[in-house]
């Protein structure tokens, strides 16, 4: 068998001599023999297969530490390792893509010189007719609109209040939408975690809450959303739901296993697939929207959206002359349908001035 010098071997394997010296040192690919006097490295042709696999994995940008373990696996296991590595690469790329899309939306909105707008708003929660307490929360200000629906019990009550309070603190004058996009969810989640640990007593339920909120800067709104509270936009008389419920029944609807009509009366309608739990694992939906004068926005908890059909919600929003009367009308509608759950409602009008 004719041995190859490092240069010949490197060319055949698609590596550089420099890289091969590193792999020698790292014990990843040792030369067959090393000349005692000159220090020349010599490789066997049979080592090419391993070298080429390493070169290939490096082209995938797999770290050398990972490659070291992959090359010692069976072909089948190695294939699985490559697949799993690429899965994580693709997941990371998708994450970067989402962040980039948000940034592009934000930057694009920056540039359009809009007429000065402001908002008029009303926020209210209602205990409903059945529940013994109220774990919904609602808040509205010139820069923040938010509703949160804590799970039943004192812990849920504290969680929804804490989430909204955290948002209020990070939406200060001079702060930009970038902050809201980057940190609103995680700081709300931390606040929920803190509200849980400060409870002192166990047995008062789970510290879990949904959160749907708009942070406003000029004519741009950043929407953060997790759980089954909802945001709607009323524009030109059309009602558009702009959030997607993180709930078990919604996932059944998405996969076609359930019709939207069946969903409303499903026995597990309350089951959430995502929520703020204070564990730092919150993956909320985030997006940027541009508003126009004349738009009316509604944020509400499922105490409204589950019991009042959306055509009725639309009619009430269209008919109400101002946010206060809209909120009153919607809560009255929920009571007309029995008000089996707490109700949170925020309505905001976009106006020029």
The residues of the shown chain that bind DNA, judged by CB under 7 A, are: 5-8, 16-19, 21-22, 37-41, 58, 63-65
Residues of this chain, 145-184, that bind a copy of itself according to CB under 8 A = 174-176, 178-179, 182-183
Quote the least distance from Cβ 12 to DNA, whole Å: 11
Chosen from DNA, a copy of itself, none, partner binding at 113 (C-beta under 5 to 8 Å by type) = none
Q: How many residues bind a copy of itself (CB under 8 A)?
A: 43
Q: How far apart are CA 92 and CA 318, in angstroms?
A: 43
DSSP output for 243-292: S---BHHHHHHHTTSS-HHHHHT-TTTT-BS--B-SSS----EEEEEE--
Q: How far apart are CA 214 and CA 243, in angstroms?
A: 11
- Distinct helix (H) and strand (E) counts, the chain: 12, 13
User: What x-and-dash track marks residues 54-83 binding a copy of itself by CB under 8 A?
Assistant: -xxx-xxx------------xxx-xx--xx
Query: 31 with 17: CB under 8 angstroms?
Result: no
Quote the least distance from Cβ 73 to a copy of itself, whole Å: 9
**Which residue number, 41 or 274, has a Cβ lying nearer to DNA?**
41
List the one residue from 7, 18, 40, 89 that touches a copy of itself (CB under 8 A). Answer: 89
DSSP state letter for 54 = H
- In which element (H, E) is residue 161 found? helix 154-170
Quote the least distance from Cβ 186 to DNA, whole Å: 16
Q: How far apart are CA 163 and CA 185, in angstroms?
A: 9
Residues engaged in binding a copy of itself (CB under 8 A): 12, 14, 45-46, 48-49, 52-53, 55-57, 59-61, 74-76, 78-79, 82-83, 85-86, 89-90, 93, 96-97, 99-100, 103-104, 107-108, 110-111, 174-176, 178-179, 182-183
């Amino acid at each position: 068998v004719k041995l190859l010098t490092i240069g010949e071997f490197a060319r055949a394997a698609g590596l550089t001599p420099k890289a091969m010296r590193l792999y020698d040192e790292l014990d990843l690919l040792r030369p067959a023999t090393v000349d005692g006097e000159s220090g020349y490295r010599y490789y066997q042709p049979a080592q090419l297969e391993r070298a080429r696999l390493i070169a290939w994995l490096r082209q995938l940008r797999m770290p050398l530490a990972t490659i070291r373990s992959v090359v010692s696996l069976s072909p089948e296991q190695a294939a699985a390792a490559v697949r799993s590595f690429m899965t994580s690469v693709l997941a990371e790329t998708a994450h970067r893509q989402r962040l980039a899309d948000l940034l592009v939306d934000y930057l694009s909105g920056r540039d359009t010189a809009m007429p000065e707008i402001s908002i008029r708003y009303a926020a209210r929660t209602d205990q409903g007719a059945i529940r013994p307490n109220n774990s919904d929360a609602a808040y509205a200000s010139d820069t923040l609109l938010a509703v949160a629906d804590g799970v039943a019990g004192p812990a849920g009550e504290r969680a929804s209040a804490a989430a909204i309070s955290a948002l209020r603190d990070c939406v200060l004058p001079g702060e930009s939408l970038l902050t809201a996009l980057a940190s609103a969810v995680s700081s709300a989640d931390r606040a929920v975690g803190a509200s849980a640990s400060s409870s002192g007593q166990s047995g008062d339920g789970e510290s879990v809450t949904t959160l749907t909120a708009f942070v406003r800067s000029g004519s741009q709104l950043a929407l953060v959303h997790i759980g089954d509270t909802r945001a709607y936009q009323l524009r030109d008389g059309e009602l558009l739901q702009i959030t997607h419920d993180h709930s078990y029944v919604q996932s059944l609807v998405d996969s076609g296993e359930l019709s939207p009509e069946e969903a409303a009366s499903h026995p597990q309608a309350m089951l959430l697939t995502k929520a703020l739990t204070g564990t730092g694992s919150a993956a909320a939906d985030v997006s940027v929207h541009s508003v126009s004068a004349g738009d009316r926005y509604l944020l509400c908890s499922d105490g409204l959206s589950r019991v009042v059909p959306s055509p009725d919600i639309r009619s009430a929003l269209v008919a109400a002359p101002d946010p206060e009367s809209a909120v009153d009308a919607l809560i009255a509608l929920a009571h007309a349908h029995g008000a089996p759950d707490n109700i949170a409602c925020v309505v905001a009008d976009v106006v020029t001035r």
